[in-house]
């Protein structure tokens, strides 16, 4: 399914990017999305908005797939940071079952991926076809402190958060649902969670910047088969699996 906003007609020098968020260690969903992106043939670059790992358990498969490509830029998410904190012998922000889960993820992480994870910044700023973009995992007061999730956001609240921000387009994730807010001078995009859904679909977005600075945004839901992935939680005895399967995947494994 796609939802399209804008008009590309006449944009002969347009530049298209894909925006992914919240892969959450789900290699099956990631493979389907990358195949879908590669099949379009016109995406110039991919921006990944953090939470590459955690929740899902396919950490090494996801990182191997992502880091093997040279067309992806990353920002760091809270799950990425919590796992790195554990690896560095520091106290993560996660608690209870979530912290136990992060310890399990850290203990199963291929050490060769750690330097690359550590190199990922919290924010990226880019000029794309003359339009300024800000990429981050979620709203922050200051690095590395993410604000609590606002489950009922509005354009007025986003304007207040970013009233000093000069970027015309702000892309973020963390809250796993699609956001598309705009006013006369800014556009706020959340592509939705790629790796966590109560349906067997993986979400992402594309943003096309035209030669005159006009912007076209499309949202996609790519179908995939999550059966083996969901069954793996029990087979591997992944910590917090009951909570994860219920709250992040809607117990699809028993439907």
Whether the pLDDT of residue 4 is over 80: the answer is no
Residue 6 has pLDDT above 50, yes or no: no
Residue of 250, 139, 245, 129 lying closest to 190 (CA atoms):
139
* Tokens encoding 124: 């990226």
- Predicted TM-score of the model (pTM): 0.93
Give the integer Cα–Cα distance in Å for 195 and 24: 5
Q: Is the pLDDT of residue 26 over 50?
A: yes
Question: Could you tell me the residue range of the domain that residue 123 belongs to?
Answer: 2-254
Q: Give Dmax over CA atoms of the chain in angstroms.
A: 54
Pull the structure tokens for residue 245. 């399967």
CATH of the domain at 103: 3.60.21.10
Burial class (CB in 10 A: 0-12, 13-18, 19+), 124: middle
Q: Which two tokens stand for residue 13?
A: 């020098």
**pLDDT, tens digit, 9 for 90 and up, residues 30-48:** 999 999 999 999 999 999 9
Q: What is the mean pLDDT of residues 208-220?
A: 94
What is the percent of the chain where pLDDT is above 70?
Answer: 95
CA quadruple 79, 80, 86, 91: dihedral sign: negative
pLDDT tens string 171-208: 999 999 999 999 999 999 999 999 999 999 999 999 99
pLDDT at res. 141: 85
> Other CB atoms closer than 10 Å to residue 86's CB: what's the count?
20
Give 2 or 173, the one with higher predicted confidence. 173
Q: Does residue 2 surpass a pLDDT of 60?
A: no
Residue 12 confidence (pLDDT):
62
Confidence of residue 11 (pLDDT cuts 50, 70, 90): very low
Phi/psi region, residue 25 (left: phi>0; alpha: psi -120 to 50; beta: rest), is left
How do residues 77-127 score in pLDDT, each as one tens digit?
999 999 999 999 999 999 999 999 999 999 999 999 999 999 999 999 999
Return the structure tokens found at 139.
């709203």
Measured at the CA of 208, the angle between CA 131 and CA 65, to 5 degrees, comes to 105
When divided into structural domains, the chain yields a total of 1
> What pLDDT score was predicted for residue 213?
87
- The string of pLDDT tens digits covering residues 59-79 is 999 999 999 999 999 999 999
DSSP symbol at 149: P
Long-range contacts of 205-208 (CB under 8 A, 24+ apart): 205/18, 205/19, 205/178, 206/16, 206/17, 206/18, 206/19, 206/40, 206/43, 207/16, 207/17, 207/19, 207/169, 207/171, 208/6, 208/8, 208/11, 208/14, 208/15, 208/16, 208/17
């Amino acid at each position: 399914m796609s939802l399209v906003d804008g008009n590309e007609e006449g944009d002969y020098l347009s530049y298209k990017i894909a925006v992914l968020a919240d892969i959450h260690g789900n290699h099956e969903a990631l493979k389907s999305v990358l195949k879908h992106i590669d099949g379009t043939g016109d995406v110039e670059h991919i921006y990944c908005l953090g939470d590459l790992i955690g929740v899902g358990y396919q950490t090494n498969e996801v990182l191997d797939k992502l880091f093997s490509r040279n067309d992806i830029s990353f920002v760091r998410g809270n799950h990425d940071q919590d796992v790195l904190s554990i690896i560095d012998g520091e106290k993560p922000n996660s608690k209870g079952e979530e912290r136990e889960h992060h310890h399990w993820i850290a203990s199963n992480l291929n050490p060769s991926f750690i330097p690359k994870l550590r190199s990922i910044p919290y924010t990226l700023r880019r000029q794309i076809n003359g339009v300024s973009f800000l990429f981050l995992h979620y709203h922050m007061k200051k690095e590395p402190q993410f604000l609590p999730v606002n489950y009922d956001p509005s354009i007025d609240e986003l304007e207040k958060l970013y009233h000093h921000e000069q970027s015309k387009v702000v892309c973020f994730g963390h809250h796993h649902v699609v956001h598309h807010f705009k006013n006369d001078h800014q556009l706020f995009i959340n592509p939705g969670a790629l790796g966590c859904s109560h349906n067997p679909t993986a979400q992402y977005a594309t943003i096309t910047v035209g030669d005159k600075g006009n912007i076209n945004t499309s949202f996609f839901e790519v179908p995939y088969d999550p059966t083996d992935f969901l069954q793996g939680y029990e087979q591997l005895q992944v910590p917090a699996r009951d909570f994860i399967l219920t709250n992040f995947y809607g117990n699809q494994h028993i439907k």
